[in-house]
Amino acid sequence: MRYNPLGQTGLLVSELCLGTMTFGGGDGMWKEIGNLRQEQADVLVRTALDAGVNFIDTANVYADGLSEQMTGQALRNLGIARDDVVIATKVLGPMGKGPNACGASRAHILAQARASLKRLQLDHIDLYQIHGVDPLTPIEETMEALDTLVRCGDVRYVGVSNWAAWQIAKALGIAERKNLAPLRSLQAYYTLAGRDLERELAPMLLSEQVGLMVWSPLAGGLLSGKYHRDGTSISGDGRRADFDFPPVNRDRAFDVIDAMRPIATAHGCSVAQIALAWLLHQKVVTSVIVGARRPEQLVDNLGARTITLSAAELDRLDRVSALPPEYPGWMIERQGAYRLGAMAGEKPQSA
């Protein structure tokens, strides 16, 4: 297992992170995602830690708080020392029926941080993340609330999930101007079947040294290689059959799967491991979140860390999954050639 700094910090996190969305179950989509009981959660946590994982991600809304509760209890049941794990959780979604029981306001953030600490049975949260965009709360208010948690010791580092590049850049500017705790990470969707993040987010993250945690690296299981092109499962089960998320361009996704199959055969591994290994080869990626319902699924995912893809294999996957050109990207690339060409002594040409 390799370990990477979380953005511009000295905190080292494993390149694979255990996701706990399958813990707890409940009603609605949580039932479809997973309904693991405490004993099963303990096994997954133990399996991940034994493989060198030191990073665990959860959220207050997962199974209405039960995922956090089970995560904290697993650490106690297994006798895990607090300093041996990095615990991340999130806040934003509804945790009650009132109009203020959700969002990224100061009131909701501070209240939910205390509630998460209680459920997790911890004295601090290593990484506290805003789970998405709150269109009503000013970013200044959100950043000041997060800074309060850092200064009082309840939280060590702060991050966001599912934010646009301009919103993260704005938050970083506010933090610098007001001397607030800066954002250290983004949790975002990124797969061979969905590389949209590369348009704006990836360049910004690299420029500002913000870490990237990848959620749903197998596109909701689609890149596991266990589905036909019509979306039906080869084995007759699978999450996508009942919870078709995240949205995917299926033609491109299955072209990617077709390209991954011979590579997986050459490496003697699963298609899922190739999809995960590709992410681990991307410079912008800090950690890839893997979740599972069964220990054997988790073991297979953890095996991705041992796979080294050749330049030819990476090129093949890059070509089949490439995003179509969009403005202003194609114009930036065209005009940027002036300067790059000048370095090589080439005569500039007009646009």
Pick the catalytic residue: 62, 128, 189, 227?
62
Beta strands 3-5 and 12-14 are antiparallel
Q: Are 293 and 34 in contact (CB under 8 A)?
A: yes
Task: Return the DSSP state at 194.
Answer: B
The 3-state DSSP class for residue 249 equals coil
Is residue 62 annotated as part of the catalytic site, yes or no? yes
CA distances from 40 to 140, 158, 249 (A): 41, 29, 34
Q: Are 90 and 60 in contact (CB under 8 A)?
A: yes
Q: How far is CA 199 from the centre of its chain?
A: 17
Helices (DSSP H) in the chain: which residue ranges? 29-33, 38-50, 66-77, 106-120, 139-152, 165-178, 201-208, 250-267, 271-280, 295-302, 311-321, 329-343
Residue 351 carries which side chain, given as an amino acid letter? A
Q: What are 90's two structure tokens?
A: 């999130």
Rounded Cα–Cα distance for residues 267 and 303 (Å): 12
- Cβ partners under 8 Å of residue 337, min gap 6: none
Strand partners, 287: 213
Report the candidate in 159, 139, 161, 158 with the shortest Cα–Cα distance to residue 149: 158
- Catalytic residue positions, numbered: 62
